[in-house]
Amino acid sequence: MKLIEDEVRVGDIRTVVIRPDKSGTWPGLLLYTDIFQLTESTLRTARRLASAGFVVAVPEIYPHGPLSGVVLEFDDAGKQRGLAGAAATSAAEFDADRLAVLDHLSDRDDVDRIFVTGFCIGGHLAFRAAFDSRVEATVCFYPTGLHNGALGKDADAGSLQRAGEIQGRLMIVFGSQDPHVPADARLAILQRLYAEGLTDLELHVYTGGEHAFMRDIGPRHDPMLTDHAIVEAARFLNET
């Protein structure tokens, strides 16, 4: 499917919107990046999802401080700047930006419903976005900090404790070799979700997948697992 790609401002938030080059309405998909922001790697994934029939909105996650407008490199310096950006941002600030982007999607004439996805810290942000009653389905890819609540400035943002607020469907994807979300952390997440009554969920653990296995730059990338994950995510969202 051919796509149209634009850059828009949602308040102060630089956001890339990628949509099918066809008339009509489509599900809107808020896509949260990892700590490196609007990299071409993440945008390539966004384009693949848009081609499955979504209006994909990809906002910067650090739009208000020194990283506004900055695309970070996948190196040690970029990683440290990205982690510093996270450490300077509270869960409440992340939540306020999420509300703005969801409002933007809700107001678009080409959007008829809303989904959310995200990667790494973005997976955690996607989980929190699912608290919004407008969100009908969410896919979290290897969400960091979800098991212990660590998010930005907050040592414990209480995300799992609020899982009962999620009204839509939920899918979570992990790699089995992810040191940021090891087996005991994955088990803690699943136990809490079930305890909160979230039984309509899918959990995928890809054997051999490392953290950020879907990032198509660097030695962690697994192309086959990435293809599986994107296909499963599109299937899950389209079945909602």
* Span 111-130, average pLDDT: 98
Residue 55 pLDDT greater than 90, yes or no: yes
Nearest to 134, CA basis, from 161, 119, 116: 116
- Report residue 118's pLDDT band, with 50, 70 and 90 as the boundaries: very high
Q: Are 142 and 212 in contact (CB under 8 A)?
A: yes
Which residue, among 102, 95, 115, has the nearest Cα to 233 in the 3D structure?
115
Terminus-to-terminus CA distance in the chain, angstroms? 21
d(CA 150, CA 33): 17
List pLDDT tens digits, range 126-170. 999 999 999 999 999 999 999 999 999 999 999 999 999 999 999
> Residue 220 above 90 pLDDT?
yes
Kindly indicate the confidence band of residue 239, based on its pLDDT and cuts at 50, 70 and 90.
Answer: very high
What pLDDT was estimated at residue 199? 84
Predicted pLDDT of residue 189: 97
Q: Which sequence spans correspond to the domains of the chain?
A: 3-238
pLDDT, position 50: 98
| Mean predicted confidence (pLDDT) in 63-78 | 97
3-238 CATH: 3.40.50.1820
- Convert the pLDDT of each residue in 183-199 to its tens digit: 999 999 999 999 999 98
Whether pTM > 0.95 for this model: the answer is yes
In terms of Cα–Cα distance, which of 108, 128, 110 is closest to 118? 128
> Which pLDDT score is estimated for 161?
95
